[in-house]
Chain A
Amino acid sequence: MILHTVSRSPFNSFALKDCVKQLSDNDLLLLLNDAVSAVSATTDQHSHLLQLDQSKRLFVLDVDLQARGLKANMGQVVSYAEFVALTIRCQSQLAW
């Protein structure tokens, strides 16, 4: 089980697009920094993200949403403490 972390906006980078293609069935995805916009606006990866959300594998960093004045339309909103717990739950992390 891998925790994938995407930090770049889906509107100026292919990081999220490339990442969702590589996700295995039980991998988790955490969006942080500019990538949090992916759960607030509609992106090309919308259906992928919705699927992940339904299987409870999509997470979004709370403070980065707040800093941008955005609201999450999907995904579980987590704190840094929960981010740490996610890295422990997964065997490894992959930063995109």
Chain B
Amino acid sequence: MSDSEVIKFSLLVTGNPASSQNAASALQFCEAVLAAGHKICGVFFYLDGVLTASDLINPASDEVNIPDRWVALATQYKFALEVCVSASLRRGIVNEQEAAQLGLQHYNLKSPFLLSGLGQLAELSASCDRLIQF
């Protein structure tokens, strides 16, 4: 591959945004990919990484708000933020539809994060040039 070619990246994020540095590393890697002029096809959140999709995360104002940064990047560069549904339900990340189905009083999935399955990860991996895991 030549240096000038635009490479399509997908990212797999498994780190808890509050306690794992991998969550911050993934975000910084994503920013570096975009700064180099490459493309992000999508980001898949799995294991404790799904906690990034909670709308209730509010770190102190002098700290980086990782979920907000993901939303800003995904909106600006138009890529999807996919969240594994089974890992989410296990950790209390629920969207409106799941809450209704499960008879829960609340839901907390941040927009534009989407609950999806491992099939979506397979699709992301097949449609990009590089899948990078954090």
Contact = CB atoms under 8 A, between A and B. Distances in A.
A83 B38 CA distance: 13
Contacts, number: 44
Contact of A92 (B31, B35, B38, B130): B130
Contacts of B33: 84
B104 interface: no
B21 A33 contact: yes
Contact of B130 (A33, A80, A93, A94): A93
B134 interface: yes
B22 A33 contact: yes
A87 interface: yes
Interface residues of A, number: 19
A55 B9 CA distance: 28
Interface residues of B, number: 19
B130 A87 contact: yes
Contacts of B1: 88
A85 B35 CA distance: 12
A60 interface: no
A74 B38 CA distance: 30
Nearest to B31: A80
Contacts of A34: 21
Contacts of B22: 7, 33
